[in-house]
């Protein structure tokens, strides 16, 4: 049994992937080859965002977005305390200061009430120039985008939506990629839509920001490649990865449906024993991982390990307790929900090719561990 079974998926898509890779090997335009524009158009059609700029990773996608906003020293950018390091890493990398906000205990996403409180606090301290919010759709479930956007509008802050885990998910009948002024995602192999290396993308309906990020992605190019109008990065997606992603996009919706079936079975079998994820009305998760919550987490983990069942703990040590974020607002403070979740969460296999017998074994093992 595997946590993410890339072998099983490869068995389904092998022929297309090999043909697509061969095409790239034939034309040899490894950087910005024709597959890049094709993929960007496909992603735009898929999620409804007008401009899609593929990127070297989900982290570079976030970095390019913050650079487009001109974020730098003295600026404060808000991020949840319960997320993958990259969300806040890019803020610090640009010399800005992360402002941590605790999450909601049922959705695991940024808590709108605490967001408002934190904004008031930072504004009253007058130390940082508060510029934007990076909400994260954790584990595949979209954040309450209307609530976050309303608060952002009220305070004149940008919303950069970190959808690294939630590509394919929905909120109020719209697909992830259209929320916030800019959204980003990751194509890291273990994400819902993954490539065979590092990859990511930026989504926006704002043409000016799209142009700036397109330039940043390519060393700050101007009209021509050798005109340098700003400082940029090597932020491009490889042509090979674009070719692979186009193949995977064709089976993506089918895979999302399979993840949903597995999630429903987990919910029905486990919700009397542990806290299973709640998906609010109007939301659809991409089920990047299936994360349960229990005070008996360590015992569950031990039983799963003993039975050879893969599991993962996202995230055992929250960012506001990490040395790299010692200067952040909220560093070392109590974030009660995040601090408790770090001790109680455990993520179970939910890849689309999980076999029914294997899922039964996972469920039985958890029930035994808990009773
Ligand atoms: C994976 C992830 C990223 C970074 O993506 P990479 O492609 O690995 O750089 C950023 N934010 C979140 C929430 C993630 O889960």
Contact 186, 58 (CB under 8 A): yes
Q: pLDDT class for 312, splitting at 50, 70, 90?
A: very high
Which is the closest atom of ligand 1 to the Cα of 87? 11
Q: What's the pLDDT score for residue 208?
A: 98
d(CA 295, CA 259): 26
Q: What's the pLDDT score for residue 334?
A: 96
d(CA 21, CA 58): 22
pLDDT digits over 50-95, tens only? 999 999 999 999 999 999 999 999 999 999 999 999 999 999 999 9
Which is the closest atom of ligand 1 to the Cα of 138? 13
- Phi then psi for residue 271, to 5 deg, are -70, -15
The DSSP bridge partners found for residue 75 are 129
pLDDT digits over 182-221, tens only? 999 999 999 999 999 999 999 999 999 999 999 999 999 9
CB of 215 sitting under 6 A from ligand 1: no
Q: pLDDT class for 342, splitting at 50, 70, 90?
A: very high
CB of 82 sitting under 6 A from ligand 1: no
* SS3 of the chain: helix, strand, coil, percent, to 5: 45, 15, 40
Q: What's the pLDDT score for residue 360?
A: 98
CA distances from 278 to 82, 95, 266 (A): 17, 37, 12
Residue whose Cα lies nearest atom 6 of ligand 1: it is 58
Residue 289 contacts by C-beta under 8 Å, 6 or more apart in sequence? 139, 140, 165, 312, 314, 347, 348, 350
> Could you give the count of Cα atoms lying within 13 Å of 140 in the half-sphere of its Cβ?
24
Mean pLDDT to the nearest integer, 355-360: 98
Q: pLDDT class for 137, splitting at 50, 70, 90?
A: very high
CB of 167 sitting under 6 A from ligand 1: no
Mean pLDDT to the nearest integer, 147-154: 98
Helix (H) or strand (E) holding 130: strand 129-133
pLDDT digits over 100-125, tens only? 999 999 999 999 999 999 999 999 99
| DSSP 8-state symbol, 135 | -
Directed axis angle between helix 356-370 and helix 239-270, to 10°?
50
d(CA 58, CA 41): 18
**Does a cis peptide bond (omega within 30 degrees of 0) precede residue 315?**
yes
CB of 188 sitting under 6 A from ligand 1: yes
Q: What's the pLDDT score for residue 16?
A: 98
d(CA 134, CA 72): 15
pLDDT digits over 251-303, tens only? 999 999 999 999 999 999 999 999 999 999 999 999 999 999 999 999 999 99
Checking if the pLDDT of 326 tops 90, the result is yes
Q: What's the pLDDT score for residue 371?
A: 87
Q: What's the pLDDT score for residue 46?
A: 98
Checking if the pLDDT of 17 tops 90, the result is yes
> Could you give the count of Cα atoms lying within 13 Å of 62 in the half-sphere of its Cβ?
28
Q: Ligand 1 pocket check: which of 4, 58, 60 to mutate, most ligand atoms within 8 Å of Cβ? A: 58
Residues of the chain with pLDDT > 90, as a percent, come to 99
Q: In terms of pLDDT, which residue wins out, 286 or 371? A: 286
Q: pLDDT class for 225, splitting at 50, 70, 90?
A: confident
How far from chain centre, in Å, is Cα 86?
Answer: 9
pLDDT digits over 169-185, tens only? 999 999 999 999 999 99
CB of 87 sitting under 6 A from ligand 1: yes
Contact 161, 78 (CB under 8 A): no
pLDDT digits over 238-247, tens only? 999 999 999 9
What rounded mean pLDDT belongs to the chain? 97
CB of 352 sitting under 6 A from ligand 1: no
């Amino acid at each position: 049994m595997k946590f993410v079974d890339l072998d099983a998926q490869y068995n389904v898509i092998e022929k297309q992937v090999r043909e697509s890779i061969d095409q790239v090997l034939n034309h040899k335009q490894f950087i910005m080859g024709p597959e890049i524009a094709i993929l960007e158009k496909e992603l735009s059609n898929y999620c409804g965002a007008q401009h899609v700029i593929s990127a070297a990773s989900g982290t570079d996608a976030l970095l390019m977005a913050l650079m487009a906003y001109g974020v730098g020293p003295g600026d404060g950018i808000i991020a949840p305390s319960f997320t993958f390091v990259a969300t806040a890493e890019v803020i610090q990398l640009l010399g800005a200061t992360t402002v941590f906000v605790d999450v909601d205990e049922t959705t695991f996403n940024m808590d709108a009430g605490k967001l408002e409180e934190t904004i008031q606090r930072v504004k009253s301290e007058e130390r940082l120039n508060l510029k934007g919010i990076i909400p994260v759709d954790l584990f595949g479930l979209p954040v309450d985008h209307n609530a976050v956007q309303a608060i952002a509008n009220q305070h004149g802050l940008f919303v950069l939506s970190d959808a690294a885990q939630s590509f394919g998910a929905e909120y109020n009948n719209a697909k992830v990629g259209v929320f916030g002024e800019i959204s980003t995602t990751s194509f890291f192999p273990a994400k819902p839509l993954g490539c065979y290396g590092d990859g990511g993308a930026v989504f926006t309906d704002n043409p000016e920001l799209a142009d700036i990020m397109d330039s940043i992605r390519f060393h700050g190019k101007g009209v021509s490649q050798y005109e340098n109008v700003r400082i940029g990065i090597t932020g491009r997606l490889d042509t090979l990865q674009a070719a692979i992603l186009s193949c995977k996009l064709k089976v993506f919706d089918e895979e999302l449906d399979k993840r949903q079936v597995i999630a429903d079975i987990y919910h029905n079998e486990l919700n009397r024993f542990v806290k299973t994820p709640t998906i609010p009305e109007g939301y659809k998760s991409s089920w990047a991982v299936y994360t349960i919550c229990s005070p008996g987490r360590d015992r569950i983990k031990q039983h799963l390990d003993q039975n050879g069942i893969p599991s993962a703990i996202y995230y055992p040590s929250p960012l506001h307790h990490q040395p790299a974020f010692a200067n952040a607002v909220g560093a070392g403070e109590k974030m009660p929900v995040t601090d408790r979740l770090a001790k109680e969460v455990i993520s179970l296999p939910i890849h689309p090719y999980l076999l029914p017998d294997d899922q039964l074994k996972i469920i039985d093992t958890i029930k035994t561990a808990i009773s």
